[in-house]
Amino acid sequence: MPNTPALHLHLPGFTVGGTEQWALAMAKILPPLGWRLSATRPEVSSSEVEAAFAGWPMLGVESLPTDALILAPWDFERLAPFRDRLVAVAHGMNDYYKSILRGGDYLRGVAVAEVARQAFPAGTIIEVIHNGVDPDRLIPRRSRAEVRAALGLPLEALVVGFVGRWGVGKNPLAIARAAAAIPGAVALYVGPWEEQPALAAEAAAIAPCRFVSPAEARHIGDFYAAMDVCVIASRTEGFSLVAVEAWLSRVPLVSTPVGVVLEHLEFAVTLPSDPSAEAMAAAVLAAIDPSRAPAIGEAERTARGRYTIEAMGRRWRAYLQALAQEIALRGA
């Protein structure tokens, strides 16, 4: 390996999700390494992606540097010829992630939370490097009253929030069922609901709902400010940026025991894996009880110390520097 190590980031497809947010965070985190950096030309790009990776050589897989470590959160079969220098990053631990990681024999594996270790095949050397959130994204640009007025939500409504993709594994209908079971409650969905119109229509038939698309939610902090409680009803999560965003925003959290929530069960009112409407409603009401205030404050302090992109950057840079040194010594 030359004196200046090379690192290649294999970019995801840039739809909506934690993997995409991780890639954008890595664009900020990695340049301070002082390494030679490159990235795979993304299949789907945007002005945000282009701005984040301005100055990075954008390459096809056929043109990967022969001396570079490769970081990849997906597309592992396509990268099979480079396994001896591939750091595979697991952002999930569901059957999908287990299937795409099954090839194994990677140089290293990184799990974004302790539970995501389960995605890797036996024998993989795994490090846990927790994901991080950019707190600046969560600063509201409008007041709670302004956001609610724009959404047609009464100030006195109990707003039950959902943030994320509309996949079956995210269980979005659970939020509508919770709202339906609580008088005066409204379900607020922030995410690409247009991709699942039938599911969104089903939610709207269950309870009063408001839907906000990703394009409308560029200032995501506005919508956390409008919520009374944030709910994660997912069946699995590798990390769950939404949990940390709620903690940083001091929004009470209700969650199934998934992702990083498993490491801080005291910071959420937890749900069974497939909660009933009654269990959802009881958890929402418990989460907004004033007795939860100390836990909400401690969750915010912990997230600010451990789960920001600044903390994530320190961990990733230290990990890669140590790995490069190990490889250099091995080749000496």
Classify residue 299 as exposed, middle or buried by CB count within 10 Å of its CB (0-12, 13-18, 19+): buried
Cβ proximity of 236 and 116 under 8 Å: no
**CA 157 to CA 45: how far, in whole Å?**
38
Residue extent(s) of CATH 3.40.50.2000 domains in the chain: 6-132+308-331, 135-306
pLDDT for position 332? 44
Q: What is the pTM of this model?
A: 0.94
Fold that domain 6-132+308-331 belongs to in CATH: Rossmann fold (3.40.50)
Q: For tokens 């309870």, what's the residue? A: 207
Query: 285-311: per-residue pLDDT in tens?
Result: 999 999 999 999 999 999 999 999 999
Query: 173-208: per-residue pLDDT in tens?
Result: 999 999 999 999 999 999 999 989 999 999 999 999
Q: Give the CATH number of domain 135-306.
A: 3.40.50.2000
pLDDT for position 167? 84
**CA 320 to CA 327: how far, in whole Å?**
10
**CA 95 to CA 163: how far, in whole Å?**
22
